[in-house]
A and B are shown apart, each in its own frame.
Chain A
Amino acid sequence: MPATDNQGSFLNRISIRRNQVVSMDVNHEQELEDLELFQKHVVDRFSDLLTPQPPPPTAADSSPDSALMPADTLLSIAWFRKLLDAFLCCEAEFKAVLIMGRDPTQFAKPPLDRLIPELLDRTVKALDVCNAITHGVELVCHWQKLAQIGVKALEQRPIGEGHVRRAKKALNTLLTSMTFDDKENNSHGGKSTERSWSFGRRGGGASVNKDRTAGTFRSLSWTVAKSWSASKQIQAMSSNLVAPRGGEPTGLALPVYIMSTVLVFVMWALVAAIPCQERTGLATHFPVPRQLVWAQAMIGLQEKIGEEWKKKEKKGTCGLLEEIQRMEKVSQSLVDFADNFQFPAEAEKVEEVAAQVTELAEICQKMDELVPLQQQVREVFHRIVRSRAEVLDVLDQVGKMSTPVLY
C-alpha cells in the first residue's frame, strides 16, 4: 500500500483531534486506539518488506537468473527505498502518538523521564549513521561509474585487446575498492599513504602485483569523523533497548520501545548493506523478544540479513546491498575473462561475456536509484532532526530542563 495514503488519512485524524477539547477519557481512549493502530501499521509494513521473498534464500548465489528476481529483492536498492518509506511512516505515526494531545508532564515522570532522553540519544546516533550512509552511497555511485566503463568497453565489437584492458583496469579498480580496508582508506590527510596506492601500471619492482592493469586505486574518502565506528554506534543504540515489562500498563513506554526498535533495525540494515566506516564486529542481531506480535516480521528480516552478514563479513567492505554483491561477482568474472583473453575471442566466449555485460549494465541501471535513495536518507535525517526538536519543545514546556543561570 502506498505510504502517502496512510500518512494523509493519518494527518487528518491529527488535525481533527487537535481541534477538539480533550477530556481525560477521550484522551485515554484515543491513546489506546492510536497505540493499537501504530502497532498494526508496524506489523503491516514490515510484513510487506518480508513477504516478496526471492526464490531461494540465497539470493546472491543465484546470479544467472537473478534478472528474474522481483524488483524489491531483500537488500536491494528498491527494498531499501521501501524500508525507508516504512520508517518515515512509522515515525510520523509515532510522533503523533507521543506528542499530539499529550499531557507534557508525562515526559517528566517515570518511565518517560528516562526513556525519552535515551530515545533522543539514539536518534542522534542514527543521524550519524545516515551521514555515513550518505558517504557510502557516494562511494557506490563511484563504483557504478567504474562498472559503466567496463560495460562500455566490453560492449564494443569486435572485442579487442584495448577494450579488454580498459575494462579490466576499471573493474580491477572497482574490486580493489570493494575489498579495501576502510581504515586505511580513511586515514585523513595521509596523502603519502594514499599515494602509494596510486601505482597504476607502474608500481615499482617491489610490489609485483598480479596484474599491471590493477588500476589506480584512489577512492573517494568517506569519513564521518575520526574513529567513528558504525558498528559501535549500532551497538550503543541497541544496548539499552529493553522491552517494557508485560502486565503493567505501559502507556507510552511501548511505542517508544517499538519506534526505537524500528530505528535501530533500519540503521543496522543500512550499515550492513552499504559501505560504511568501521563495521567490524557489527552485531548480527539485537534482542527483540520473540513473543511480541509486532516484531515478528522484523525478527524474520533480521535473521535473514544476519545470516548474509555472517557469510560476507570477512570479505571486505562492500556491503550486502544486493546490487553490490552482484556487481562484485560479475566484475570478478569479467576480470577473469580479461585475464585469459586472446584476440580474436571465440564466439562462445563472446556470447558468455555479452550476457555478463548485460547483467552488469542492468545492475548499473538499477544503481541509478541510488540518487533517490540518497535523497531519502537525507529525508530521514531531516525528519529525525525535526522530531527531536519537537520532543525537546515538549520537554521545554515541562520546564524540566531549565536551570538557573550561572553568573
Chain B
Amino acid sequence: METEKDKHLPEKSGSSASRDAEQDNHDQQDPDPNPKLNPDKDHHHQNNATDNSELPTETKPKQESTEEAENKEEETITENIEESPPPPPPPDLGKVSEEIDQFIHALSSIKDQESDLPEVPDVVEQFAFLSEEKVANYDSIESPVKWNQLSEEDSLSFLEVVDRLSKLTASLTVFSSESKYASSINRMGGVLQRAMSYLEDEFRKLLEDPKFPDFDHGNDLKSSNSNQEVDQPTSDAQESNSTVDNNFPGYYEDVVSDLNRLVKVMMTGGFETECYQVYLVSRRHLLEETLHRLGFEKFSIDDVQKMQWEPLEREIDSWNKTFKQCVTVHLTGERKLSEAVFFDYPSITDGLFSSLSRGIMIQLLNFAEAVAMTKRSSEKLFKFLDIYETLRDVIPSMDDLFPKEMVNELKTEASLTRTRLGEAMVCIFCELENAIKADTGKTTVPGGAVHPLTRYTMNYLKYASEYKDSLEQIFKEHQNMERADSTTESDNDYGNNNAQAVGNNQNAVKLSLFAMQINKVMELLDTNLETKSKLYKDIALSSIFMMNNGRYILQKIKGSPEINTLMGSTWSRKRSSDLRNYHKTYQRETWGRLLNCLTHEGLNVNGKVVKPVLKERFKSFNAMFDEIHKMQSMWVVSDEQLQSELRVSISAVVIPAYRSFLARFSQTFTPGRQTEKYVKYQPEDIETHIDELFDGNATPTGKRRP
C-alpha cells in the first residue's frame, strides 16, 4: 500500500519528478485499480463526473477501494500544500472546465504583455489533475481503452478535455517568459503530451484496421471480366457508406468521423507532424498490401529481363488489372479518404496524397518500363499493346486525381513509359520485317500448300490490326523518323518498291504510317513467297503454291475489316488479278499440254482419220492425264472454294474438249477390245478424276464419292 501511494504522489503533484521514470513505474506495477476500467465502466464514470456535480469524490468509480482513493487524494493535497497553495478537493470536471475556459478567455484578452498577468488559479491544477487522471485511465498499460469501442459521447468528452488542454497550454505558452507560469506550462504540457501520445496510438490503430470486405470474399478479383464490375461502383460512388468502394480498404463512416475528430484535436494541439506521419505510414502500408492482394508482385527490372515470356505474360495481365484498379479504385478512394479524414485541412491533403501515391505510381510504372525494356520479339506485341492502352486510357484521368504539383511529374513519367512501349512496338515490327527477310529456308512445302510463314505473318497482322487505332497512334507518335529513313535507305529494294507500289495502288490516298508498315510487311512477304515459289521445279506447282498462299492472304484480309480497310480495295483487286494470272499459268502449264493431245490438227489427212496418229494421241492423253492425276492429287489446295474453282475451271476446259474429241473420233476404233484399249476414260471418269485433284493424298485412292 505504502509504495503504491508513494508512486502516485508525484504523478499528482505533477512538477516534481521525471514523467518518464514515473510512467515506467506506473506502467509496470500499475498500482491504481482505476486504469483497469473497461469502457463500460468508464462510460459510467463519465456520467458520474459530468452529471453528478454534488458527488465530487465519486469521480473514481471504484467499488473496492474508494477509501484508498480518498486517502490518496488527501495526501495529494497535503503534498501540494508543501509546495503551493492547496487546491481544494477536485470538483467535477464540468465545473472545472467552465472555469478553465474563463481563464483561457482572460488570458487571450490580455493585449499588453507587460500588464499584470493574472496568477494561475487553483482550478488549473485541478484541471491538470482531472484530465491527467482521465488520460491515465484511457491510456492504461494493462487495458487501454480502445477508441473504436468508445461510445460517441465518451470519445467526444475525452476529445473535449484534450482540446481544452491544448488551448490552455497554448494560452499559457504565449506568456512563456513569465516565470510564474512556467510550472503550469510544464504541468499542462506533460498531460497534453500523454494525451496526444495516446491519441496518436489510437489514431494509428484505427487506421491499421480497415475493412476489406470484398477481398475477404475474394470475389471476382481474379476473373478477367471483372474490371467493369469493379470499376463501376467507384465512378458513381460519392457517398462513402460501406457498400460503396467495394474493393477499397477504407473505413466505415463512423470510423472516418472518429479519425477526423482525432485529426482535429491533434492539429489543434500542434501535433500535426505526428498525425501526418502516422497517417502516411499506415496508409502506405495498406496500399502496398492492397497491391499485393491484387496480385501485383514487385520485380526488379533485372528480374523482368531474365523472366521467361510466359510467366511474364501473366504478370503483365495482373499488372494491367492492378494498375487500372489502383488508379480508379484505390488511389481515388485514397484521395477521398484523406479528404474526409483531413476535412478541415485541405492544404494538408494534397501533400499527403502526393507522398502516398507518388511512390506507388512510380513503382507500378517501373514494371511497365521494365517490360518495355525486354528483348524485342514479335510475340510480345500484343501484351505491349495492352500495357500501352492501359496507360493511354489512364493518363487523362490523372488530372482529376492528383494534385497539381504532382500531376505533371506523374503524367510525364507515364508518358515516358508509354513512349518506350511505343518505340519498342515500332521496333517489334522491324523485328517482324527482319524475321520475314531472314526466313530463307530451302525446303519447299509439300504439295504447294500454304507456307507456315504466310500463316504466321497473316495471323499476326490480322491480330495486330484488331489494335488498329492504337497502332495507328503508335506509329504516328513513336516512329522515330530518323530511324524510318535509315531503314528505308538500307532496304532500298523493299523501300522503293513499297513506296512505288503504295503510290500507284492508292492513287495518292495518304496512307497512315501503320498502313504503310503493314504494306511493307506484306511486300516483304510477297517477295519472300516469290523466292520460295521458285524452289519448286514444276511451274504448275509453283503456281499452285502462289495461288494457295495468295488465296490465304486474301481470305485473311477479307476476313478482317480492319486490315481490309488498311490495305484498301485496290490492293485486293490487284491481288485477285494476280491470283487469276497464277491460275492461268497453271492452266496453261498443266492442261494446255494435255489439250494439245485433243487438237484435231494432223488427224485428218484428206478427210480420213489417220488411225495410228489417233492411237498415239489417245495413248499420250491417257498417260498424261494419269500422270497429272497421280501428281496433282498429291498437291494441296486446302481452301475449298479455290479447290472447287480449280476443278470447275479444269473440267470446263478439259471435259468439253475431250467429249467432243471422243464424239468425233471414238467410232474410228472397232468397238470392244480396241476401244477399250485406247478409250480409257469416259468424260464422266475424267470429271471424277479431276475432282480428286488437290486433295493432298499421297496415295490417290480412287473414287471417294458415293
Query: Which residues of A pack against B, CB within 8 Å?
Result: 124-125, 127-128, 131, 134-135, 138, 141-142, 145-146, 148-149, 152, 156-158, 160-163, 165-166, 168-170, 188-189, 191, 194-195, 198, 200-202, 205, 208, 211-213, 216, 218-221, 223-226, 228, 233, 338-339, 341-344, 378, 382, 385, 388-389, 392-393, 396-397, 399, 401-405, 407
- In whole angstroms, what is the CA distance A245 to B584 when docked? 67
A166 touches B196 (CB 8 A): yes
Given the contacts A149-B274, A158-B182, A396-B427, A128 and B27 also touching, CB distance less than 8 Å: no
Shortest CB-to-CB span from A384 to chain B, Å, is 10
Question: Is the beta-carbon distance between B182 and A165 smaller than 8 angstroms?
Answer: no
Asked if B288 is at the interface of the complex by the 8 Å CB criterion, the answer is: yes
* B452 within 8 A of partner (CB): yes
Min CB–CB distance B578 → chain A (angstroms): 24
A402 to B378, CA, bound (A): 10
For B274, the chain A residues whose CB sits under 8 A away are 149, 170
Given A161-B186, A202-B27, A224 and B300 touching (CB < 8 A)? yes
A212 and B20 within 8 A (CB)? yes
Question: Is B197 in contact with A149, judged by CB distance below 8 angstroms?
Answer: no
From B201, B369, B439, A216 is in contact (CB under 8 Å) with B201
Distance (whole angstroms) from the CB of A221 to the closest CB of chain B = 6
Tell me the bound Cα distance from A33 to B144 in angstroms. Answer: 75
Q: Top 8 closest A-B pairs, CB basis?
A: A162-B189, A402-B434, A162-B193, A160-B186, A407-B456, A160-B189, A225-B300, A161-B190
| A373 CB → nearest B CB, Å | 15
Shortest Cβ distance from B424 into A: residue: A389
Cβ 8 A contact of A142, one of B27, B185, B277, B435: B277
Which B residues are CB-close (under 8 A) to A228?
300, 303
Does B701 sit within 8 A of A, measured CB to CB? no
Which residues of the other chain, B, contact A211 by a CB distance below 8 angstroms?
20, 24
Question: If A160-B186, A225-B303 touch, does A191 touch B289 (CB 8 Å cutoff)?
Answer: yes
Known: A161-B193, A201-B27, A404-B435. A233 touches B185 (CB 8 A): no
* In contact, B416 and A165 (Cβ under 8 angstroms): no
Q: Identify the stretch in B88-96, B278-286, B610-618 within 8 Å (CB) of chain A at 4 or more residues.
A: B278-286
Residues of chain A with a CB closer than 8 A to B191's CB: 162
B193: chain A residues at CB < 8 Å are 161-163, 165-166
Are A407 and B452 neighbours in the complex by a CB distance under 8 Å? yes
B305 at the interface (CB under 8 A from A): yes
Task: With both chains docked as a complex, state the minimum distance between the C-beta of A217 and any C-beta of chain B, in angstroms.
Answer: 10
Interchain CB contact under 8 A, A218 and B438: no
Contacts of B298 in A (CB 8 A): 188, 223-226
Q: Which of B18, B190, B300 contacts A342 (CB 8 A)?
A: B18
Output the residue of A162, A389, A407 with the most chain B CB within 10 A: A162
In the complex the two chains form, what is the Cα distance from A125 to B300 in whole Å? Answer: 9
| 12 A/B residue pairs, CB under 8 Å, sorted by A | A141-B355, A142-B277, A142-B281, A145-B276, A152-B270, A160-B190, A161-B186, A162-B186, A165-B193, A165-B194, A200-B197, A228-B303
A160 close to B185 (CB less than 8 A): yes
Alpha-carbon separation in the docked complex, A145 to B486 (Å): 53
Residue B453 lies at the interface, judged by CB distance under 8 Å to chain A: yes
B362 located at the interface, meaning its Cβ lies under 8 Å from any Cβ of chain A in the complex: yes
Which of B28, B188, B288, B373 contacts A221 (CB under 8 A)?
B288
Can you name the residue of chain A whose Cβ is closest to the Cβ of B369? A385
Interface centre among B186, B297, B305, B376 (most CB of A within 10 A): B186
Contacts A201-B27, A212-B24, A233-B302: A220 and B284 contacting too (C-beta < 8 A)?
yes
Which of chain B's residues have a CB closer than 8 A to the CB of A163?
189, 193
New A-B contacts (14) at CB < 8 Å, excluding given A201-B23, A342-B18: A124-B373, A131-B300, A141-B355, A156-B176, A158-B182, A162-B189, A166-B196, A169-B197, A216-B204, A225-B299, A339-B20, A389-B420, A402-B434, A405-B378
Separation in Å of the A14 CB from the closest CB of chain B?
A: 13
Q: Which residue of B lies closest to A210 (CB)?
A: B24
CB neighbors of A among B421-470 (8 A):
423, 427, 430-432, 434-439, 452-453, 455-456
Q: Contact flags (1/0) for B351-388 with A, using CB distance below 8 Å?
A: 00001000100110010010001011010000000000
- Is the pair A213, B435 in contact by a Cβ cutoff of 8 Å? no
Interface positions, chain B 183-239, Cβ under 8 Å from A, are: 183, 185-194, 196-197, 200-201, 204, 208
Pick from B20, B376, B378, B456: contact of A165, CB below 8 A. Answer: B20
Whole-angstrom distance between the Cβ of A342 and the nearest chain B Cβ: 6
The minimal Cβ–Cβ distance linking B209 to chain A, given in whole angstroms, is 11
| Interchain CB contact (< 8 A) of B192 among A162, A220, A402 | A162
A residues in contact with B288, CB < 8 Å:
188, 221
**Chain B residues numbered 687-702 whose CB sits less than 8 Å from any CB in chain A:** none
* Structural contact, A385 and B420, CB atoms closer than 8 A: yes
Proximity string of chain B (298-340) to chain A, C-beta cutoff 8 Å, 1 when within and 0 when not: 1111110100000000000000000000000000000000000
Residue in A145, A157, A161 whose beta carbon sits within 8 Å of that of B18 in the complex? A161
Q: Is B141 an interface residue (CB 8 A)?
A: yes
A405 and B427 within 8 A (CB)? no
Contact of A156 among B19, B173, B483 (CB under 8 A): B173
B453 and A218 form a contact (CB under 8 A): no
Q: Which of B247-301 contact A (CB under 8 A)?
A: 270-271, 273-274, 276-278, 280-282, 284-285, 288-289, 292, 297-301
Q: How far is the CA of A403 from the CA of B375 in the complex (A)?
A: 12
Q: Give CA–CA (A283, B280) in the complex, Å.
A: 34
Residue of chain A at shortest CB distance from B375: A401
On whether A124 and B435 interact (CB within 8 A), knowing A161-B190, A218-B282, A407-B456, the answer reads: no
CB distance from B321 to the nearest CB of A (A): 18
Chain A residues closer than 8 Å to B155, beta-carbon distance: none
| Residues of chain A within 8 A of B24, CB atoms compared | 211-212
| Inter-chain contact A145/B273, CB cutoff 8 Å | yes
- 8 Å CB contact of A188 from B200, B292, B436, B483: B292
Distance of A395 from chain B, by nearest CB (Å): 10
Q: Using Cβ atoms and an 8 Å threshold, which residues of chain A touch B373?
A: 124, 385, 388-389
From A202, A208, A218, B281 is in contact (CB under 8 Å) with: A218
Nearest-CB residue, chain B, relative to A150: B273
| Distance in angstroms between the alpha carbons of A138 and B191 in the assembled complex | 33
Task: Say if the beta carbon of B3 comes within 8 Å of chain A.
Answer: no
- Indicate if B490 sits at the interface (CB-CB under 8 A): yes
- Does B15 sit at the interface, judged by CB under 8 A? yes
Q: Report the minimum CB–CB distance from A39 to chain B (whole Å).
A: 29
Bound CA–CA A188/B301 (angstroms): 18
Tell me which of A161, A191, A378 contacts B189 (CB under 8 A): A161
| Closest CB in chain A relative to B181 CB, distance in Å | 9
Contact A405 B18 (CB under 8 A): no
Collect the chain B residues with CB atoms within 8 Å of residue A339's CB: 20
Docked-complex contact B28 and A208, CB < 8 angstroms? yes
B487 smallest CB distance to A (angstroms): 8
Which one of B19, B197, B438, B455 lies within 8 Å of A407 (CB-CB)? Answer: B455
Which residues of B lie under 8 Å from residue A226 when comparing CB positions?
297-298
Min distance, Cβ A216 to any Cβ of chain B, angstroms: 7
B27 touches A212 (CB 8 A): yes
- Cα A226 to Cα B375 in complex, Å, equals 23
B273 touches A202 (CB 8 A): no
- What residues of B have a CB within 8 angstroms of the CB of A152 in the complex? 270, 273
A204 — nearest CB in chain B belongs to which residue?
B141
Once the chains are docked, how many angstroms separate the CA of A165 from the CA of B378?
63
Closest to B205 in A: A198
Quick check: A189 and B289 within 8 Å, CB to CB? yes
**Given the known A-B contacts A161-B190, A221-B288, are A128 and B302 also in contact in the complex, defined by CB atoms under 8 Å?**
yes
> For residue A142, which residue of chain B has the nearest CB?
B277
For the complex, give the distance between the alpha carbons of A146 and B274 in Å: 8
A97 to B421 CA separation, bound complex (whole angstroms): 26
A277: shortest Cβ distance to chain B, in Å? 10
Contacts of B273 in A (CB 8 A): 145, 148-149, 152
Min CB–CB distance A80 → chain B (angstroms): 19
Does the CB pair A157–B176 fall under 8 Å?
yes
List CB contacts (< 8 Å) of B82-103 with chain A: none
Instruction: Name the residue on B nearest A157 (C-beta).
Output: B176
CB proximity of A385 to chain B, nearest CB, Å: 7
